[in-house]
Structure 1
Amino acid sequence: MPKKLFVVGVGPGSPLYVTDAAKEAVRKSKYVVGYRYTLATIEGAIDRSRQEVLEVTMKSQEDVYQGVYARMKDGEYCTVPFTGDVNFSESEVVDRLLEIFGDDNVQIIPGISSIQVAAAKSRVPTDKAFIVTFHVTGDIEQKKKDLVQAVKDGKSVILLPRPWPRDLSKHFMQSDIAKFLKANGIDTQKLKVWVFEHLTTDKETTFKGVVSDLEGKEFSDLSAMVIDQVKRQTYLEF
């Protein structure tokens, strides 16, 4: 039996949002490898007396993944947890893990995304919204154009911003988004917005206002933003 990998979404941050499927994968694994925040979310499912837990950073992740794969024996399992839903952001990391382990040896387990929680709290349903993540390492220029078009088309938007403090040309957080929309002809003084930080945790905060209010404001890397242009319709209208 070859080496096996679970790629697991573990929710926005509260252990209450970690699914049973995710917990089962963690408990089945000899190795658990992830970022500090994500590991903290699943700490209750980890048994450090029998599991090897390794923390990664953007710089160290390649060496750690390769090192774990080399140490694993046939038939052993490793779990790599991701904050939120593994299918929504950081696909470039998942693609690399698929290369290392091979598609047939990887099981992807979805999780609850902060996008879903933000939709619930703002009452902006996902089926009436343009949903986009800027929380990727690749080029986001087309996504930025799509964002402008969605707003001009009157759609609500639910998004994850991109923190990149080491290179401000790639930084695209709430203040940057507000300035970008204004520069592209959007009247940001009339556009309702929500910003949620640290969703589902005891640090959770909510900001509600208009998009122009975001200019100059700083928010956590762990935040979701909702541009609210929703028009409610009930089944009585059809």
Structure 2
Amino acid sequence: MIICIGAGPGDIGYLTQRGADLIRNADVVAGFEAVLNVVRSLIPAQAQVITMGYRDQVAKLDECAVEHHAGKKCVVVFMGDIHFSGFQYLERVERAVGHPVESLPGISSAQILASRAKVCFDETTFITFHRRGDLSPFKRHLVHVLQDQRNAIVIPCPWDEARSFMPWHIAAYLMEQGISPEHPTEVWENLTRGEAEWHGTLAECAQHKCSDMSIMLIRTLAPMASQIEPAESK
């Protein structure tokens, strides 16, 4: 067995009960060090732990695949929800083992942000730039989202200065594309782990520097009116 588990946004309290049970009963637990540290207390003492980074993840997943094909119960732990920013990592797991694998969703930072900021996902679009490859289609999509008068929850791309697309880059790009600098904008850092929040306009965000552990909310200039029934007169 091999299963991929979303471990939540960084606080073990947001891990699902099934995810916790699978980790407690695993023979092999694999993942990036920061993610493994979140679930470290659940990993059995006798389990093999395979820690990886961006540079050696392919080789380390190959090690995990060997144990899987030897009949061991293997768990690969992802931060957040697998299908929000971890889909390319899931593809790497499946390439390593040679077949589709089961995945268990987790709570994402986007869901936590929606709760903190009181925005409805029906009126909001989620976009992640935390991915490899060409970001251009996703940048264009973000422009269209705001033009369509929807909120946008955005995960930045933090990897390196040559490729980074952090909140201040995102704000500058959007204004270059004609998006109003007056959009109310929020940047939240370290959600569920001593979080900090910043509020301002898109123009002000272009000057606001933050850490890699950040997520961004750009609110529409035209919020949708409530569609519930009118309150009864007293």
TM-score (norm 2): 0.92
Query: Partner letter of residue 236 of structure 1?
Result: E
Indicate the larger mover: 218-227 or 77-86.
218-227
- Helix, strand or coil: the match of 1:63? helix
Q: Tell me the CA shift for residue 71 of structure 1.
A: 4.1
Q: Tell me if the contact between 2:85 and 2:130 (Cα under 8 Å) persists in the aligned partners.
A: yes
Deviations 1:129-164 (A, max 9, x none): 111111111211011011111112211101111112
- Helix, strand or coil: the match of 1:55? strand
User: Is 1:26 aligned to residue 17 of structure 2?
Assistant: no
Query: Partner letter of residue 147 of structure 1?
Result: L
Residue among 150, 153, 158 paired with 2:153: 158
RMSD (CA atoms): 1.5
User: Is 1:220 aligned to residue 187 of structure 2?
Assistant: no
Q: Tell me the CA shift for residue 182 of structure 1.
A: 0.8
- Helix, strand or coil: the match of 1:95? helix
Query: Partner letter of residue 113 of structure 2?
Result: A
Runs of 4+ more than 3 Å apart:
71-74
User: Is 1:14 aligned to residue 15 of structure 2?
Assistant: no
Q: Tell me the CA shift for residue 231 of structure 1.
A: 2.9
Identity %: 28
User: Is 1:85 aligned to residue 65 of structure 2?
Assistant: no
Q: Tell me the CA shift for residue 216 of structure 1.
A: 3.2
Residue among 155, 175, 185 paired with 2:168: 175
Q: Tell me if the contact between 2:9 and 2:79 (Cα under 8 Å) persists in the aligned partners.
A: yes
Q: Tell me the CA shift for residue 73 of structure 1.
A: 5.7
User: Is 1:35 aligned to residue 32 of structure 2?
Assistant: yes
Structure 1 residues 29, 204: CA separation in 2 closer, same or farther (over 3 Å shift)? same
Structure 1 residues 75, 15: CA separation in 2 closer, same or farther (over 3 Å shift)? same
Whole-Å Cα distance in 1 between the matches of residues 3 and 49 of structure 2?
Answer: 14
Query: Partner letter of residue 141 of structure 1?
Result: S
Report the equivalent of 2:115. Answer: 120
Whole-Å Cα distance in 1 between the matches of residues 32 and 210 of structure 2?
Answer: 20
Residue among 177, 180, 192 paired with 1:200: 192
Deviations 1:146-193 (A, max 9, x none): 11111122111011111121x52x2111010011011011121x1101
TM-score (norm 1): 0.90
Whole-Å Cα distance in 1 between the matches of residues 166 and 71 of structure 2?
Answer: 42
Whole-Å Cα distance in 1 between the matches of residues 58 and 209 of structure 2?
Answer: 30
For structure 1, the residue ranges without an aligned partner over 5 or more in a row are none
Whole-Å Cα distance in 1 between the matches of residues 114 and 150 of structure 2?
Answer: 14
- Helix, strand or coil: the match of 1:87? helix
Residue among 72, 92, 106 paired with 1:96: 92
Whole-Å Cα distance in 2 between the matches of residues 92 and 175 of structure 1?
Answer: 25
Which structure has more relative contact order (CA 8 Å, sep 6+)? It is 1
Q: Tell me if the contact between 2:2 and 2:68 (Cα under 8 Å) persists in the aligned partners.
A: no
Indicate the larger mover: 9-18 or 71-80.
71-80
Indicate the larger mover: 117-126 or 67-76.
67-76
- Helix, strand or coil: the match of 2:50? strand
